[in-house]
Structure 1
Amino acid sequence: MTGFTHQTGHLFQVDDAEIYVELAGSPTGAPLVLLHGGLGNMMDFNAILAHLPEQFRLIRIDFRGHGKSTLGNAPLTYHQYQTDVETVLDRLGITHYSVIGFSDGGITALRLAAAQPSRIRALITIGAHHQLASDDPVLGMYAAMTANRWRALFPDNVARYEATNPEPDFDRLVPAVVALWTEAAAYPGEAVHHITAPTLMVRGDQDHLCTRPHILALGELLPQADWFNLPGIGHDVLNEAPALCMAGIAPFLVQHCQ
């Protein structure tokens, strides 16, 4: 399957932002939405494309401010991400779909599945938690992130963002994302108990952002949840261990997403 390149997609106007979308796979296949993590973009999924079953219609979306989507002027929130995704899918005429969400994409996927449970055929979250307590140490990690620190950690990713985004402003984007991460009330929280779709929670065992207690707490609230733990892998399981990651995800997709 051809990788996503930010060259063949479409822009959808959603309020004051333009949301970038690329489609791939089988045009008549079951829709599968791919949602990336914070400060990433749709290309983060390219590592797993070779391992995805080919019968799906892939819809990959850059969150506002990320990849080739513009930031607009509204504050970044998980609710805004959810609204953007729902708007794009409505305009594409997609009423029912499955979703794979990584990190922020997984948190957004939980919101989507809780808000409109009848639309979601299957849900796969990767490194995603549904809530953070006010004293959770992860909040301190998020709050300490700055644009310059991210540049030092991921220079290639920042260079790609600056070359791709039509209105690049990384010094504005990072504080907006940090505010999203550190607003505890923005997470889906107890609303996840509305989720009815079969759910697979994927986590790298060395993930310091989505911890084992996070996943156990989420699983207690989901009636049809399975947990796929990858030993020795960190937060970015998509790129650290794509084949191993998809060894658990692909059978789940085939079983539940047709």
Structure 2
Amino acid sequence: MTPSAIFGKGRYADVNGINLYYETHGAGRPLVLLHGGLGSGEMFGAILPTLAAHHQVVLVDLQGHGRTADIDRPLDVTLMADDIAALIEHIGLRKPDVVGFSLGGGVALQVAIRHPHLVDRVVSASAQIRRDAIYAEMLAQQAQVSAAAAEFMKDTPMYELYQRVAPRPEDFPRLLDKIGTAMEKDYDYTEEVRGLQVPTLIVAADADMAPPSHFVEVFKLLDGGLRDGGWAGESRPKGGHALAILPGLTHYNLADSPLFAAVTLAFLDRRS
């Protein structure tokens, strides 16, 4: 069976004004898994078997991505976090963990901020909390994302995936416009992160879209990196938070990496 053959056998949930596509893989403690921008749940094909061997993985296609059609509202991580909260309640998940990468990492963080009573632990990977943390050359590239770029993306995996699975394949330029607009918007979630009550693992590649120092800064907001942890871990961050900078990776291959799966499982399965 090819990796793509395990996908596309999910269902839809009419929640929060959107018809949200999701699939369920494996068994065990529930884990909601959220993809990056211009992707879908299929982007986790390389690590899904590892995660599903330990957890019931609920793989979601976010607004306008994959098999979830777009609706008439902006692409915004806070709105998409509300979608995920509504999905958790709709399918009756009891305190699932939420794991997200890039766009999905931002959504996962917002689920923890906005709906802490619904989730147990969160892993937020490659998701900076301030726009100005992104390298200047990357911000310049993001400024070029619009419907006009659709023609130039026809040979990319993102375009191929969208054409293969989207309910309305002709909406790809619209998705690019919406993502471009979202990336232009300034944001700073420093204060929201500082008050986070859900145990959270911050993950980044050592050559990510923002420097490792930014993710260390996020960890400091969570009471991390401020003192020695103690022989028995008694002085680790009070909220159970953690940080992982993964070696030899970039923003573009972190979600495929067994290292990402390994640190995610290590964090989620440490319940003491």
TM-score bin, normalised by smaller chain: 0.7 to 0.9
Structure 2 residue ranges without an equivalent (≥5): 224-239
- Residue in 1 that maps onto 2:13: 12
Residue 172 of structure 1 aligns to which amino acid in structure 2?
Answer: R
Q: State the alpha-carbon separation in 1 of the partners of residues 203 and 63 from structure 2.
A: 25
Structure 1 residue ranges without an equivalent (≥5): none
Task: Kindly indicate whether the alpha-carbon contact (under 8 Å) linking 1:111 and 1:192 is maintained by their aligned counterparts in 2.
Answer: no
Task: Kindly indicate whether the alpha-carbon contact (under 8 Å) linking 1:134 and 1:184 is maintained by their aligned counterparts in 2.
Answer: no
Higher relative contact order (CA 8 A, sep 6+): 1
Deviations 1:53-85 (A, max 9, x none): 623111111011100000011111112211111
SS of residue paired to 2:25:
strand
Instruction: Output the TM-score relative to the length of structure 2.
Output: 0.83
- Residue in 1 that maps onto 2:195: 194
- Residue in 1 that maps onto 2:182: 180
What are the within-5 Å matches in structure 2 for residues 92-131 of structure 1?
A: 92-131=91-130
Residue 164 of structure 1 aligns to which amino acid in structure 2?
Answer: V
1:215: how far off?
A: 0.6
What are the within-5 Å matches in structure 2 for residues 39-118 of structure 1?
A: 39-52=38-51, 54-118=53-117
4+ aligned runs moved over 6 Å, structure 1: none
Q: State the alpha-carbon separation in 2 of the partners of residues 88 and 243 from structure 1.
A: 28
- Residue in 1 that maps onto 2:143: 143
Q: State the alpha-carbon separation in 2 of the partners of residues 91 and 184 from structure 1.
A: 32
Pair 1:203 & 2:204 matched: yes
Q: State the alpha-carbon separation in 1 of the partners of residues 206 and 142 from structure 2.
A: 20
Deviations 1:199-249 (A, max 9, x none): 222211111x23223212211212433221122211034455x22222322
Q: Radius of gyration: which is bigger?
A: 2
Change (3 A) 1:179 1:95: farther
Deviations 1:13-64 (A, max 9, x none): 24553210111111xx211010000111001111112332623111111011
Residue 196 of structure 2 aligns to which amino acid in structure 1?
Answer: I
Q: State the alpha-carbon separation in 2 of the partners of residues 153 and 220 from structure 1.
A: 41
Change (3 A) 1:53 1:255: farther
Q: State the alpha-carbon separation in 1 of the partners of residues 192 and 54 from structure 2.
A: 32
Residue 120 of structure 1 aligns to which amino acid in structure 2?
Answer: V
Residue 115 of structure 2 aligns to which amino acid in structure 1?
Answer: Q
Task: Kindly indicate whether the alpha-carbon contact (under 8 Å) linking 1:237 and 1:245 is maintained by their aligned counterparts in 2.
Answer: no
Pair 1:159 & 2:160 matched: yes
- Residue in 2 that maps onto 1:38: 37
SS of residue paired to 1:101:
strand
Q: State the alpha-carbon separation in 2 of the partners of residues 214 and 204 from structure 1.
A: 12
Change (3 A) 1:204 1:149: farther
1:117: how far off?
A: 2.1
Change (3 A) 1:92 1:3: farther
Q: State the alpha-carbon separation in 2 of the partners of residues 201 and 179 from structure 1.
A: 26
Residue 23 of structure 1 aligns to which amino acid in structure 2?
Answer: T
Identical-residue share of aligned pairs (%): 28
Q: State the alpha-carbon separation in 2 of the partners of residues 255 and 113 from structure 1.
A: 18
How many residue pairs get aligned? The number is: 252
2:248 equivalent among 211, 232, 241: 232
Deviations 1:130-157 (A, max 9, x none): 1223996243332222456475486222
Q: State the alpha-carbon separation in 2 of the partners of residues 212 and 15 from structure 1.
A: 35
Q: State the alpha-carbon separation in 2 of the partners of residues 67 and 80 from structure 1.
A: 17
Residue 184 of structure 1 aligns to which amino acid in structure 2?
Answer: D
Give the aligned CA root-mean-square deviation in angstroms.
2.6
Residue 243 of structure 1 aligns to which amino acid in structure 2?
Answer: P
- Residue in 1 that maps onto 2:226: none
Task: Kindly indicate whether the alpha-carbon contact (under 8 Å) linking 2:75 and 2:178 is maintained by their aligned counterparts in 1.
Answer: yes
SS of residue paired to 2:203:
strand
Instruction: Tell me whether 85-94 or 148-157 shows the greater mean CA deviation.
Output: 148-157
Residue 235 of structure 1 aligns to which amino acid in structure 2?
Answer: H
